[in-house]
A and B are shown apart, each in its own frame.
Chain A
Amino acid sequence: AQSVTQLGSHVSVSEGALVLLRCNYSSSVPPYLFWYVQYPNQGLQLLLKYTSAATLVKGINGFEAEFKKSETSFHLTKPSAHMSDAAEYFCAVSGTGNTPLVFGKGTRLSVIA
């Protein structure tokens, strides 16, 4: 069985500050890990994915995440927050192949001017 825990349902940062959204996973098989972003009234957009290649993954909009097997973590970071980053962020895990995603409960990011 697979599961994801996102620490903090709401994170608030100042514009230009570091963004850190936390995700810990549990998986009985080598995991594939994903971060998705959801803007109001829209579907989910892929930010980045880890599929057993490089442990530091770079995504769109300046986001990156590091896979740490020893900590079972896949935290999302961005060096400098922008107002347009305000959205809901979901961490998800799946096994290999075409297996469904198991999502965390999401973290709402607010960016303060």
Chain B
Amino acid sequence: EAGVAQSPRYKIIEKRQSVAFWCNPISGHATLYWYQQILGQGPKLLIQFQNNGVVDDSQLPKDRFSAERLKGVDSTLKIQPAKLEDSAVYLCASSPLGPYEQYFGPGTRLTVT
């Protein structure tokens, strides 16, 4: 089966610009996660969707980050305006309902200059 797809793979922007990332989860997976991985650290959850509803966005910096999951399938994560400290890899993961492991996409590496 196809894995989790993410695009773009790399993005370089200047601070105060906006950027959007796209994720297509594995077909049939109800739950979708966005994680932020800063260099030298483990991934940290930004937001969790179940179908098209938000389950947990407590760690999402809502003044600049937004995310949506239309029709319970694809998802987009947006940053506006970007700051230098947003430089990181943004990982999308999906899982079926139940106590199953999460499957990760290749990530989008964002560099803010």
Contacts and interface: CB of A to CB of B under 8 A. Distances in A.
Interface of A: 4, 32, 34, 36, 41-46, 49, 51, 90, 92, 96-98, 100-106
B97 interface: yes
Contacts, number: 58
Interface in B76-113: 91, 93, 95, 97-99, 101-107, 109
A100 B101 contact: no
Complex A-B, nearest 5 residue pairs according to Cβ-Cβ distance, in ascending order: A103-B42, A43-B104, A100-B45, A44-B104, A43-B106
Interface stretch (B13-21, B48-56, B66-74): B48-56
Contact of A44 (B40, B43, B99): B43
A53 to B, nearest CB: 11
29 contacts: A4-B42, A32-B99, A34-B101, A36-B104, A41-B109, A43-B91, A43-B105, A43-B106, A44-B43, A44-B104, A46-B101, A49-B101, A51-B99, A96-B99, A97-B99, A98-B30, A98-B31, A98-B50, A98-B95, A98-B97, A98-B98, A98-B99, A100-B45, A100-B48, A100-B56, A102-B45, A105-B41, A105-B42, A106-B41
Given A97-B99, A98-B31, A98-B55, A90 B107 contact: no
Contacts of B93: 44
